C-alpha cells in the first residue's frame, strides 16, 4: 500500500469533488483490494460514509467542501470543520432540525446580531414558520456572575444584545407559529457553543470565557448514532449534559420574579428582560435560571445515592406509613391536633409548590412531620404563615430558600450536673442572686442577653432522687430575635424587603431565596454554638466557676440542615438522651430515644422526632384559617391581626396537663418509643410567672 497510497489518496479526493457515489465506491474497493485484506474491505462498507437518506444535505456539504470525516465501527462520526465553513454549516444544521433544537453559548451575540452576516435569526424564523420545530431551547451565561465587579459591563452588553434580539425579534415569531421558547441563564464561564438537533451536533468547545477569547477550541460536527455498539460519542455526552442542566434549572415567573431593589447592572438587565416579556403577554416563553448549588446537588446525590424525601421515612411497628403521622389517634388525639394536622398538611402542599417552582427535578420537594406535642404557638405570625409548634419541616431544592414564617430563632434545652453548687449561696432571694451575681456579670463581661422571662423559657435548679443538683436551662438567642440582624421576620430587618409571597386560595407562604437564604441558614448554624456557649457559661458560674461534670445541650428550635427546620421538637439519633419538659414547676424528664421509633433519613443519618415538652392546646377551636388580604388569622370566630408582635391570647390556651411524664408517653406510645432514665424535681425556678424557691420543696 505504501507504493500506491499517495496516488490512491489523490484519486480518491478527485472522486469526492465529482460527488459520484458509484465512482467513489469503486475507488474504495480498489484501495481495499490493493491491501488484499478482506476484513478491511468489509470495514469500508461498514463506515457508512454515504448519507443515510437521499436528502442529507449535511453530507453533501461536507463532501463538496472537502471536509475530513472520521467514521468507523470502533469510533463515532466526527468531522473537523474549518472556521470559515462553520457559519454556513451552522445555518444548514439548523435548517435540518426537526421537533426540537438546542442552541448554547456564552453570549450568542454573533448568532443574534442583526448586523452580522453570520447571524442565525432568519434561519430560525424560517424553521419556526415552516413548523419544523415546536421547541427551541437557548442557553447562555447568567450575567449575575459578573456582579462581583460593578464596572464589569462588557460581557453584560454582549449578553444583552442577544437576549434583547431573541425577545423582540424571535419571540413574536414563536408566538405566531406555536413554537415554545425556553431561555436558560447558566452561571458558568465554560459554556460550549453548540447547535444540537436530533441528528447532528455542531460544536465549538470553550474552556473559559475571557475578553481575549483565547480559550476556544476546535470546531467539529458530530452525529447522533443509535448504534449502541459504537464507542461513547461526543454527541451523546454533550446532549445528556445539556439535558441535565436544563432539567435542574429553576423556572422564572416574569410577572413576579423581578427585583424590587436593583443594585447591580446584571440585576437591572434581568429586570428589563422580565418586564419586557411580561408586557408582551406571550405564553410561549419560559425563563429558567440555574444555580450552582443545583448542579452540586445533582452530582452529590449521584455519588451518595441520597433518598428522595418520599423515601426518607422509615416506619415503626405502630407508625407504618407516612400518612399515619396525620391521624390524631396516633398522637395525643385532642381537638388541638385535630384542627392543626390538616392545616400543616396544607402548609406542606404550599411549600412543595414553591420548591417545584424553583426546582422541577425529581428529587425536589417538601415534607412536614408532626411531633407528638403538636400544638399552638404563642406567635400569630408563625401560625398564620402555616407553622405550628411541634413539627419538623424538610425540603430539597436546588435554589436556596427559607420559609421565614417558621420564625427560626435557635432555642436550646440544657441540663448540667452542678457538683459545686451550694444552695446557701442563693441567700433568701433567688431572683436577686441571678440578677446581681449572674445576669449583670453576663451582660457586662460577655454581652449576653437572656430570654428566661419570655414565653415558656426558664432557668431551673432541680434535684434527682439522689439529691444531686442540676441546672436546667431553656432559652433562645435573645440578641438575634427582634433585632435588625436577627432571624425573626420583623419589619425592616436585613431581609424584609426580599421576602416573596406565594398565594394559593386563602393560604399563603412567605419565603426568601438565593443569597439571603444562604446567609440566613449560615447565621442559624452559627447561633447553635452561640447558644451552647451562653448555657455553658451560665452553668460554669452557677457551679461556683467550675465546669459541670455532666452536661446535655440539645436544640429543639433550629435548622438541623440548610434545608430543614425543627420547630419545638428534638431531631436526634436513636439512643440520644434529651430533656423533656412538662409544665410550670413540674419535673423535667431525661428521656432516652428508643431504637424502634419511626425515623427520618436526614443527610444519610437516621433521626427521630422527640417532643421537648407537652405543648399548648386550645380545645375549643375547631379550625384555623387565614385571610391574607385582610391580614387576619381566624381561630373559629376569633379574628387576630397578623403582625410580628401579636400573640395568640385565647382564654382557653394553656399547656397540656398530665399527671406525669409516664402518662404523657403512655398516651403517645404509638408515636414515640423510649424510656425515662431520670426525673429532675425543681427547687428553684426563674421564668415569666415564677421567680424563686418553689413552695412545698
Mean pLDDT throughout 97-121? Answer: 93
| Of 110-114, 385-389, 551-555, 677-681, minimum mean pLDDT range | 110-114
Domain locations in the chain as residue ranges:
5-73, 80-290, 309-693
Which of 55-69, 182-196, 306-320 is the most confident on average?
A: 182-196
Where does residue 38 rank: exposed (0-12), middle (13-18), buried (19+ CB within 10 A)?
A: exposed
| Of 103-107, 254-258, 643-647, minimum mean pLDDT range | 254-258
* Per-residue burial over 554-591, b = 16 or more CB atoms within 10 Å of its CB, e = otherwise: bbbbbbbeebbbbbbbbbbebebbbbbbbeebbbbbbb
Phi, psi of 260, deg, nearest 5: -75, -30
Q: Residue 386: its pLDDT value, please? A: 96
Strand segments, DSSP code E, in 250-314 are 250-252, 285-289, 313-314
- Cβ atoms within 10 A of the Cβ of 137, count? 20
Sheet holding 605-611, edge to edge: 313-314, 599-602, 605-611, 569-572
How far apart are the two ends of the chain, measured CA to CA in Å? Answer: 108
CB 136 within 8 A of CB 181: yes
CATH number of 80-290: 3.30.870.10
Mean pLDDT throughout 511-522? Answer: 92
More confident residue, 676 or 485: 676
**Torsion (CA) 207, 208, 209, 215 in degrees, nearest 10:** -60
How far apart CA 576 and CA 595 sit, in angstroms, is 10
CB 431 within 8 A of CB 692: yes
Give tens-digit pLDDT for 449-496.
Answer: 788 888 889 999 999 999 999 999 999 877 666 678 888 888 888 999
CB 28 within 8 A of CB 66: no
**Torsion (CA) 520, 523, 528, 531 in degrees, nearest 10:** -120
- Cβ atoms within 10 A of the Cβ of 154, count? 9
How far apart CA 313 and CA 209 sit, in angstroms, is 45
Mean pLDDT throughout 99-124? Answer: 94
| Of 7-11, 241-245, 280-284, 369-373, minimum mean pLDDT range | 7-11
Q: Residue 4: its pLDDT value, please? A: 44
The set of cell numbers assigned to 560 is 438541623
3-state SS, residue 552:
strand
Phi, psi of 120, deg, nearest 5: -115, 15
Angle at 342 between CA 336 and CA 346, to 5 degrees: 135
Residue with cell 430560525: 124
pTM for this one? 0.76
Give tens-digit pLDDT for 226-270.
Answer: 654 556 688 989 999 999 999 888 888 787 777 667 778 998 999
CA-based Rg of the chain, rounded to a whole angstrom? 34
- The DSSP bridge pattern shows strands 638-641 and 411-417 to be unpaired
pLDDT surpasses 70 at 31: no
Q: Residue 8: its pLDDT value, please? A: 46
pLDDT surpasses 80 at 677: yes
Give tens-digit pLDDT for 332-379.
Answer: 999 999 999 999 999 999 999 999 888 877 788 999 999 999 999 999
3-state SS, residue 213:
coil
Mean pLDDT throughout 569-597? Answer: 96
Residues 6+ apart with CB under 8 A from 292: 187
Amino acid at each position: 500500500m505504501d507504493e500506491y497510497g499517495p496516488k490512491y489518496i489523490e484519486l480518491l479526493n478527485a472522486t469526492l469533488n465529482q460527488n459520484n457515489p458509484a465512482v467513489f465506491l469503486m475507488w474504495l474497493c480498489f484501495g481495499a483490494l490493493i491491501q488484499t485484506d478482506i476484513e478491511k474491505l468489509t470495514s469500508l462498507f461498514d463506515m457508512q460514509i454515504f448519507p443515510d437518506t437521499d436528502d442529507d444535505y449535511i453530507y453533501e456539504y461536507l463532501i463538496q467542501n472537502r471536509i475530513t470525516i472520521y467514521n468507523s465501527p470502533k469510533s463515532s462520526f466526527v468531522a473537523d470543520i474549518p472556521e470559515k465553513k462553520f457559519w454556513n454549516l451552522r445555518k444548514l444544521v439548523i435548517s435540518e432540525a426537526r421537533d426540537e433544537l438546542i442552541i448554547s453559548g456564552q453570549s450568542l451575540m454573533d448568532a443574534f446580531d442583526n448586523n452580522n452576516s453570520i447571524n442565525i435569526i432568519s434561519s430560525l424564523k424560517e424553521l419556526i414558520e415552516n413548523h419544523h420545530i415546536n421547541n427551541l431551547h437557548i442557553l447562555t451565561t447568567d450575567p449575575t456572575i459578573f456582579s462581583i465587579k460593578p464596572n464589569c459591563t462588557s460581557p453584560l452588553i454582549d449578553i444583552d444584545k442577544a437576549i434583547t434580539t431573541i425577545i423582540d425579534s424571535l419571540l413574536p415569531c414563536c408566538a405566531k407559529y406555536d413554537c415554545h421558547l425556553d431561555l436558560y441563564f447558566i452561571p458558568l464561564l465554560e459554556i460550549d457553543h453548540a447547535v444540537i438537533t436530533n441528528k447532528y451536533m455542531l460544536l465549538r468547545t470553550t474552556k473559559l470565557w475571557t475578553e481575549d477569547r483565547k480559550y476556544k477550541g476546535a470546531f467539529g460536527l458530530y452525529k447522533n448514532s443509535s448504534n449502541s455498539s459504537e464507542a461513547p460519542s461526543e454527541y451523546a455526552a454533550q446532549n445528556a449534559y445539556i439535558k441535565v442542566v436544563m432539567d435542574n434549572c429553576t423556572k422564572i415567573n416574569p410577572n413576579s420574579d423581578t427585583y424590587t431593589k436593583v443594585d447591580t447592572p446584571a440585576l437591572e438587565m434581568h429586570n428589563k428582560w422580565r418586564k419586557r416579556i411580561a408586557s408582551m403577554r406571550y405564553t410561549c416563553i419560559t425563563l429558567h435560571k440555574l444555580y450552582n448549588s443545583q448542579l452540586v446537588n445533582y452530582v452529590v446525590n449521584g455519588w451518595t445515592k441520597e433518598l428522595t424525601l418520599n423515601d426518607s421515612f422509615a416506619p415503626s411497628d405502630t407508625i407504618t406509613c407516612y400518612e399515619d403521622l396525620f391521624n390524631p389517634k396516633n398522637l395525643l388525639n385532642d381537638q388541638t391536633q385535630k384542627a392543626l394536622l390538616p392545616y400543616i398538611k396544607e402548609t406542606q402542599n404550599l411549600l412543595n409548590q414553591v420548591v417545584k417552582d424553583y426546582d422541577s427535578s425529581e428529587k425536589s420537594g417538601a415534607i412536614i412531620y408532626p411531633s407528638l406535642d403538636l400544638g399552638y404557638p404563642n406567635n400569630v405570625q408563625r401560625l398564620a404563615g402555616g407553622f405550628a409548634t411541634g413539627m419538623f419541616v424538610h425540603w430539597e431544592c436546588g435554589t436556596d430558600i427559607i420559609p421565614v414564617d417558621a420564625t427560626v430563632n435557635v432555642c436550646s434545652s440544657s441540663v448540667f450536673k452542678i457538683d459545686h453548687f451550694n444552695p446557701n449561696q442563693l441567700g433568701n432571694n433567688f431572683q436577686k442572686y441571678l440578677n446581681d451575681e449572674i445576669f449583670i456579670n453576663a451582660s457586662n463581661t460577655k454581652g449576653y442577653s437572656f430570654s428566661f422571662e419570655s414565653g415558656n423559657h426558664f432557668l431551673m435548679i432541680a434535684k434527682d432522687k439522689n439529691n444531686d443538683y442540676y441546672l436546667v436551662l431553656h432559652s433562645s438567642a435573645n440578641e438575634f430575635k427582634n433585632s435588625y440582624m436577627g432571624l425573626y421576620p420583623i419589619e425592616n430587618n436585613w431581609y424584609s424587603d426580599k421576602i416573596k409571597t406565594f398565594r394559593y386560595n386563602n393560604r399563603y407562604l412567605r419565603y426568601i431565596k438565593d443569597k439571603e437564604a444562604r446567609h440566613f441558614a449560615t447565621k442559624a448554624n452559627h447561633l447553635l454554638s452561640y447558644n451552647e456557649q451562653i448555657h455553658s457559661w451560665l452553668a460554669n458560674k452557677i457551679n461556683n466557676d467550675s465546669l459541670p461534670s455532666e452536661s446535655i445541650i440539645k436544640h429543639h428550635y433550629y435548622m438541623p440542615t440548610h434545608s430543614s427546620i425543627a420547630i419545638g421538637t428534638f431531631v436526634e439519633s436513636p439512643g440520644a438522651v434529651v430533656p423533656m419538659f412538662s409544665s410550670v414547676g413540674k419535673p423535667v424528664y431525661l428521656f432516652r430515644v428508643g431504637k424502634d421509633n419511626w425515623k427520618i433519613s436526614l443527610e444519610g443519618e437516621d433521626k427521630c422526632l422527640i417532643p421537648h415538652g407537652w405543648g399548648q392546646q386550645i380545645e375549643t377551636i375547631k379550625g384555623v384559617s387565614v385571610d391574607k388580604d385582610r391580614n387576619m388569622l381566624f381561630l373559629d370566630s376569633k379574628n387576630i391581626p397578623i403582625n410580628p408582635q401579636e400573640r395568640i391570647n385565647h382564654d382557653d390556651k394553656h399547656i397540656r396537663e398530665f399527671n406525669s411524664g409516664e402518662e404523657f408517653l403512655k398516651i403517645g406510645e404509638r408515636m414515640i418509643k423510649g424510656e425515662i432514665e431520670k426525673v429532675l424535681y425543681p427547687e428553684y425556678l426563674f421564668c415569666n410567672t415564677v421567680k424563686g424557691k418553689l413552695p412545698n420543696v
